[in-house]
Chains A and B, each alone.
Chain A
Amino acid sequence: MKLLEQWITGIIDPYYLRIIILMGINIIIALGLNITTGVTGQLSMGHAGFMSIGAYTSAILTLKLGWPFWLTLLAGAAVAALFGFVIGLPALRLEGDYLAIVTIGFAEIVRVFFLNFEPGGKAVGLSGIPQETSFSLVLIITILVVFFSQRLLSSRIGKAMYAIRENEIAAEACGINTTHLKVLSFVLGAFLGGLGGALYAHYMYYISPQDFDFMRSIEVLNMVVLGGLGSIPGAILGAAILTILPEMLRVVAEYRMLFYGALLVILMIFRPNGLLGDIRLYDLVKPKREKEVKPCRS
């Protein structure tokens, strides 16, 4: 790991390395939301809430209690997953847009909470977090998460989750425990969101509630939708594009967000199901395979 780290910092410009590391973190987070929204079809627009819980938990544990880095990563992800469970519960009774506003509300409440949270530095945020997140660590975790996602989505559980997205009542009639799986999808999404948040906190030195506002949630949702709902290569591509794009648009500094907004509209008009809509990893390996998954409606 050390060797890889030395080798990579030796050959890649620090600026590009930074973008690559942030891309890795975004891929982890996007794969998390992909399980909740892309695969299971539970529209979550508050993923930044989970990220901020993971980031703050791990940063506070590092700074105030001096826990080892890997343990704070796990703790951040676990606490986020716990909140995923709590948010997943009302999700059982709510659908589509009602769920969307509940998740938005959840993320806003989390943001306001950290704005007033003394150990989190209130509006100023937390600074001086040691930079522990390295290229090799992000690489290893990203590979693990991709592998885990792939295994999950091709398992019985993953297929049952796709079934819930396509038609919940039919899925239930087939004997799928929809309650269980919907909550599970939230827990998994939140876990990866928290993990990404924790990695982010230990890379950026500094976090504040503004890092995890509504626009951040939207950015993650865009990664999943742009790449293609329910598709692992899609989420990876979406996260990569939306990490690089703002950097490329820096040339046109002030007009950056203007282009970004316009691009979203144009992309949706021409590729409404995302760039790689419902293409799975094994579709890339076996291109002749018939596609059986239809576009998501919820």
Chain B
Amino acid sequence: MLWQQLLNGLTLGSTYALIALGYTMVYGIVQLINFAHGEIYMVGAFVGLVLVTVWDVNLGVAMVGAMAVCMLLGVLVERIAYRPLRGKSSRLSPLISALGASIFLSTLMALIAGVNTRRYPAIMDLSSFSWGPVQVSSMQVIILLVSALLMIGLQFMVRKTRIGKAMRACSQDLDAAALMGINVNRVISYTFAIGSALAAAGGVMVGVYYNAVWPYMGTMAGLKAFAAAVLGGIGSIPGAMLGGLTLGVLEIMGVAYISSSFKDAIAFGILILVLILRPQGILGEKISKKV
């Protein structure tokens, strides 16, 4: 029972982690809570659905397609809703702009696709096998594997490539990075693109795993993922991964051992407790305030 819940929790947690990475990367560079991120995840799930039902492709192709579309969407949202505001206003106005973009995207999807919950067709043989006392479904294996691969890929990109180096520079000091000849706008676009692609992959996999896709699915998932990013320490990439997994496991444990009707409250309750004890999150750095 415990191991089964742990596996379910890790599966849920790795999808939170995939979405949380987008929040934390954007936050690390432009200090903006990108509230439209949850909607990008939702669009990803829908693009995957369309690819699977209309073009009848397999899950891998659907995922890549959704990632590509969401990359463009993420960059577009940044261009339209955030870039015009950058550097000339308070920090609250981009936040409101992000909320506006989020409302716009979810309503647009509701107009296009209708508000009803859609289901993925049986695209693959979702078998499950037992491993000791634990029932493992093939979709859980896929979610864990793909998430792990994407996260390793992200770490490699951030640590080893030129663009990754530019991102790290930008997250330390945007102005100094610009002075060193880094095209800051391009780096920000890349950040949005990568974050959105990860969220889209998460969206497709969650859509298949829970077999439900609807236009307002992004709001709660986005809030939970943001909570995960803050739990791990916002701005920190390993923090987002750890925060996502922790939140997923604790949420499933809470549902299993406490009460399922308090599902959404459990995640936020944990978050508040952790932040009271450790205000900078699990892996966050404590930044001393200066005048």
Contact = CB atoms under 8 A, between A and B. Distances in A.
A104 B265 CA distance: 11
Given A98-B275, A105-B271, A214-B223, A257 B90 contact: no
Nearest to A113: B265
B262 A261 contact: no
B93 A272 contact: yes
Given A93-B276, A258-B111, A264-B97, 8 more contacts: A97-B27, A109-B265, A116-B261, A221-B99, A265-B81, A272-B90, A272-B93, A297-B90
B104 A262 contact: yes
Interface of B: 27, 31, 33, 80-81, 84-85, 88-94, 96-97, 99-105, 107-108, 111, 219, 223, 226-227, 230, 234, 261-265, 267-269, 271-272, 275-276, 279-281, 289-291
A261 B104 contact: yes
B235 to A, nearest CB: 10
B111 A265 contact: no
B90 A112 contact: no
Given A105-B268, A115-B261, A254-B111, A90 B89 contact: no
B89 A258 contact: no
B100 A265 contact: yes
Interface in A30-54: 37, 43
Given A102-B271, A254-B111, A268-B97, A96 B91 contact: yes
Contact of B99 (A102, A218, A269): A218
Contact of B90 (A115, A168, A295): A295
Nearest to A272: B89
Nearest to B233: A98
A101 B271 contact: yes
A222 interface: yes
Contacts of A132: none
B92 A296 contact: yes
A19 interface: no
A93 B93 contact: no
A104 B223 contact: yes
Nearest to B270: A105
A94 B273 CA distance: 12
A94 B93 contact: no
5 contacts: A93-B279, A98-B281, A101-B227, A112-B265, A254-B111
A273 B93 contact: yes
